[in-house]
Amino acid sequence: MLLDAAINPPDLAAAGSTAAAAERLGLSGLWTSEVQHDPFLPLALAAVQTERVQLGTAIAVAFPRSPTVTAYTAWDLARATQGRFILGLGTQVKAHIERRFSVPWDAPVPRLRDYIAAMRALWQTWQTGERLRHEGPYYTLKLMTPFFDPGPLDVPPPPVWIAGVNEGLARMAGEVCDGFLAHPFHSVRYLREALRPWIAGGLTAAGRPPDALQLSVSTFVIFGAGAVRDRMRAEVQQQIAFYASTPNYATVLALHGWEEIGTQLTGLAARGRWAEMGPLITDEMLHEFAVEGATFAEAVGQLPARYAGLADRVTPYLPFIPGQQDAAWAEAVAAFNTSAA
């Protein structure tokens, strides 16, 4: 099991030095997300200031970009990192696709499947010189002249990971993807009883071996003492409540019999009553969705046992910021490695 970190520096100029600092601490992978900033730009800077650590998007939103645009970016990052780049894609939800990105929303699972096939068709053309011809239900690609061809890589093409919560994307990942990024809003029971079986069903349907796909999880961590710990618990409760208010994620709540709380949270979110949502997340729920410890290292040290047999990579759900708690991160890496050994 590998320990990764999230990096999302608000100052793009700091991305390279942030990644270099994380690499020096011994972290295995670094992930950027598409929340307030572009997920690819920091990785371009990180690529030239690191040598070992893997760099990935968790996630880049697929549908606002054409598969050709994403294929070029991923190809360039694969070359710049010498094969250390992981392309993590997500569908987002309908409201954001239509109202935040202003692009059409249509059958996300089959559309993402075609999106990935279109990208791989481009990569095959660039790598081998074969004629480009992809004709899918959503994307058609037939034109690639030498002038627009970036040429072959001397490393494998970028691995494609996707994120999701429900069965459709999980099964599709098992069929056609290299990895799956489990949503932070998860429990161990959900991974064991729902997500892993769905992925296994996709692997079996495609005739792929069980180890053909890796699973990465991002986990809420709570640590400290007294008022510091209480504040962190409240922040995590608020974040869990935000995710639990999304109807698309009701599957996780239903598994635990918490549908009624989800309905209440959805209603509060619709009315903009955000401050009232966090307190609805009970201690029982917090225990399922987060790990707690007296220190950051103690919390992170629990992750290998928590996800044994379920996950290949884990990422604490808080950003790595160099110069802030460097010693705590170093202790956490050591505790994780000791526990995982």
Rounded CA separation 169/173 (Å): 6
Chain segment 217-276, per-residue pLDDT in tens? 999 999 999 999 999 999 999 999 999 998 988 999 999 999 999 999 999 999 999 999
- pLDDT, mean over the chain: 96
> Strand locations in 33-75, DSSP E?
54-57, 60-61
Q: Percent helix, strand, coil in the chain (nearest 5)?
A: 50, 15, 35
d(CA 123, CA 117): 10
C-alpha to C-alpha distance for 16 and 44, rounded to whole angstroms: 8
**pLDDT-derived band at 324, boundaries 50, 70, 90:** confident
Quick: pLDDT tens for 267-317: 999 999 999 999 999 999 999 999 999 999 999 999 999 999 999 999 999
- Residue 129 has a pLDDT of 96
- With vertex at residue 41, the alpha carbon angle to CA 21 and CA 47, rounded to the nearest 5 degrees, is 45
pTM, 2 dp: 0.95
* pLDDT over threshold 90, residue 57: yes
Domains within the chain, CATH numbers bracketed = 2-220+294-340 (3.20.20.30), 225-293 (no CATH)
What percentage of residues in the chain have a pLDDT greater than 70?
100
Place of tokens 């998007």: 57
Reported as a pLDDT band with limits 50, 70 and 90, residue 341 is confident
Could you tell me which of 237, 210, 206, 233 has the C-alpha nearest to residue 222?
233
